[in-house]
Structure 1
């Protein structure tokens, strides 16, 4: 049994940052609405700040009472506010050890570690990079030792920091897919980011519309009625370009230096500018593959490729930063040329043999889908 260890004190800073992000908008809203709510907004602002303080105090107590250690074939985490609970995973069932680093983690040279198994996973919010690498090395080494007991290895496998905490190895890992900035912009154009940005803009106007003076709306209506059609068209194009710029900027921040690496029987996705993420997928756990195309992608000759993984529990943990949806679907290749997909699919998931569909319409379908609807019409 290894000695019990505690989380890095930077956990208090990262927790405060995440809590502040969730509380900042209600506080700002109530603060700006205090004049309209006859002083009641000030009470709501103070109440929100008080709730934030109490919740953060609970996070501090939870941090003080959280420890983790390795015991035999188990990695155990004990935590709890008033009643401490133990959560453990079997080391031999660990599928991947992933990491993510937001702005606060990177500023303090820390990382967030996620230990994942087919059933449940464990998230350690903040560890120093040195301790995280040491823990990842220990878990990988113990897993190899337990699974292959006849191999008498005395040296721990070293993991490159740039490659994250996955099972990547120098000379074995190969990059099969990357996304440049141009590819990210193409993905935004074909994925409808402008429409999504417009929806967000309309929603923001509806939410914060009460904060905008009515005189401003009246002046805007008068200006539109007195403006030529050409000016309105130019204004619409300007709004369109602004939304596209905002959507593209957010997408670049999220998918910066996106790449997919293959190491033996594992796939690793790495991406991110402000928040760097690494996610490892065991090829043996991939149960299904998807190819999705909208009409814009089809016209341009592009497609999106996703994989489905097995999991014994739903992806409902808010601390889980993986890209898996509730159905276990992970977008592996966000934008790839249709002609290149067959080669990449054979290299990434060789166990799936996908034959191209034959675009042949059966003769019996003419009566069902053409003749009968025409008669009914």
Structure 2
């Protein structure tokens, strides 16, 4: 069934679409500049000629590559052969496949084909495009063959004697035992809108808009401070405030529409040892997350989410390969973080997590930062911004001290939050760490067998105050991620150290 064969013929159409998109996006600024110039028929014809010639050349290249591209299964390997002048083979071991992900842009969906990415710890293969039936047959076959391979030792099932056709009975028996699929979360359009409003991203976009608006319109900020009494009677101020308000509404609207397009039909399912995330309106994406790759669980709440009783839940994953691949569109960040539940009711989170990770305890934390540590959280940032604000006020802008004062107040408040909310909790095989930022609170659950190293630190000043710092790291992405607890009591730091070193707690 999976002898040497080509991709679907409609690959030529999808590649031609990609060519047009790349050329048009690269020529965007030229087109915009030409639009504001007086139309010149000769220039337009020259541009169209270059565009058509370049498109034709690239299409010929992609056509030649299509007819020289094959994929097949050989023993324990999925092989992809491709190349323009020199054909090169790239293969992956089927027994090491971690996930088989799909993505479909608007053209793929219209043509009813899909792009698949087969991921392994070391590398991956991308096949664009296959029909839905081709993808289903290949995906099922690879998954079932992987199970059958992993259940046998080399003595029982030598790789050099493995042939695809000899495993039909084994694969059929494995297919009968395939795990059922359970839906964990499915977001409606209303929930996506709620998620977009509550996650705070639009607020950051609004501040960027406000700064840009300032530079573009040369806002009379000095007048705002010197003529406060005339704010409500000045037509220019009213127009300014109205423009800001309209801009905020536009940013909210664009942000919500973009979020709906990206996350439409967001669905998380559990099947055996894998989680699957599927979403997208114009471009649908299906991403598989192997449970065995999960290093940490993370719950994050900002102020708005906490007020309305919602939270965000994500996974920390490990991988031996970099995610920097323009064609591999997944939600895994470079640090290995992937959002599983972008918005979920707080009281519903633990039951959902227990379905996927029954071995996690998910204990609440105990706040451990003593009162005498407050100044240590704020003294250096406050001193830094005080010096910067004073220097700018003296040399450039007299009102810079106002921005400095605001930053000082922010860091003072952040120091207080750190004192109130930093904490941890130890179980026999798991540590829960809670760390605040200015606008959010992060709670991370880390199994002890995922911790790579753990340190406790103390300088002379901390020793006099009986305080310590502790930090540990776990594998995340292609590197590691560090977790810190700063300015905690000595006894708490040594308690964590002994827990890690001795393999348990008293």
TM-based fold match above 0.5: yes
Q: CA deviation at 1:232?
A: 5.3
**Secondary structure at the residue paired with 2:360?**
coil
Alignment of 1:25-104 (within 5 A): 25-34=25-34, 36=37, 47=50, 50-104=53-107
Per the alignment, residue 326 of structure 1 pairs with 334
Q: Which of 277, 280, 294 is the aligned partner of 1:272? A: 280
Cα distance, 1:251–1:369 mapped onto 2, change above 3 Å: closer
- Equivalent position to 2:257, from 218, 230, 249: 249
259-268 or 284-293: which moved more?
284-293
Who is 1:11 aligned against?
11
1:177 aligns with 2:177: no
Alignment counterpart, residue 109 of structure 1, candidates 107, 112, 121: 112
1:193 touches 1:244 (CA, 8 Å); kept in 2? no
**Higher deviation after alignment, 313-322 or 298-307:** 298-307
Residue ranges of structure 1 left out of the alignment (5+ in a row): 160-166, 210-224
What is the CA–CA distance in structure 2 between the aligned matches of 1:101 and 1:307, rounded to whole Å? Answer: 24
Higher RCO (CA 8 Å, separation ≥ 6 residues) = 1
CA–CA distance in structure 1, aligned partners of residues 284 and 171 of structure 2? 33
Shift of 1:10: 0.8
Note the alpha carbon deviations across 1:238-267, whole angstroms, 9 max, x for none: 332222122111111111121111122211
Contact 1:315/1:324 (CA < 8 Å) preserved in 2? Answer: yes
User: Which residue number corresponds to residue 361 of structure 2?
Assistant: 353
Inter-CA distance 153–369: structure 2 relative to 1 (3 Å threshold): closer
1:307 matched residue in structure 2: 315
Q: CA deviation at 1:293?
A: 3.0
TM-superposed CA distance for 1:18, in Å, is 1.9
Q: Which moved more, 1:2-11 or 1:298-307?
A: 298-307
What whole-Å deviation, never above 9, does each CA across 1:12-65 have from its counterpart, x for those lacking one? Answer: 111121222222134343234247499797566754554444333322221121
Question: What RMSD over aligned residues (CA atoms) do the two structures have, in Å?
Answer: 3.7
Question: Residue in 2 aligned with 1:162?
Answer: none
Contact 2:312 2:342 in 1 (8 A): yes
Q: 1:125-180 CA distances to partner (integer Å, 9 max, x unpaired)?
A: 11111111121222123223222358954637669xxxxxxx975xx221112212
Does the alignment pair 1:23 with 2:26?
A: no
| Partner SS, residue 128 of structure 2 | strand
Structure 1 equivalent of residue 146 of structure 2? 143
Alpha carbons of structure 1 residues 22 and 198: separation in structure 2 relative to 1, 3 Å: farther
**Distance in 1 of aligned mates of 2:206 and 2:376:** 40
Cα distance in 1, alignment partners of residues 119 and 296 from structure 2: 20
CA deviations on 1:176-205 (whole Å, 9 max, x unpaired) are: 122122221122112334346558979999
1:229-248 equivalences under 5 Å are 233-248=241-256
Q: In the alignment, is the contact (CA less than 8 A) between 2:144 and 2:175 conserved in 1?
A: no
Can you list the C-alpha shifts for 1:334-356, whole angstroms capped at 9, x where unaligned? 11233333333332223333322
Task: Compute the TM-score of the two structures, normalised by the length of structure 1.
Answer: 0.79
Given that 2:71 and 2:78 are in contact with CA atoms closer than 8 Å, whether structure 1 keeps it comes out as yes
Change (3 A) 1:308 1:46: farther
Displacement after TM superposition at 1:75 (Å): 0.6
| 2:162 aligned with 1:155 | no
Q: Specify the structure having the higher radius of gyration (Cα).
A: 2
User: For 1:262 and 1:37, how far apart are their aligned partners in 2?
Assistant: 59
Unaligned runs of 5+ in 2: 157-166, 217-232, 387-506
CA distance in 1, matches of 2:32, 2:380: 62
When residues 47 and 126 of structure 1 are mapped into structure 2, their CA distance, relative to the original with a 3 A threshold, is same
Residues 294 and 315, structure 2, Cα contact 8 Å, conserved in 1 = yes
- Secondary structure, in 3 states, of the residue corresponding to 2:335? coil
Q: Equivalent of 2:194, from 183, 186, 192? A: 186
Q: C-alpha separation between the residues in 2 aligned to 1:102 and 1:156?
A: 35
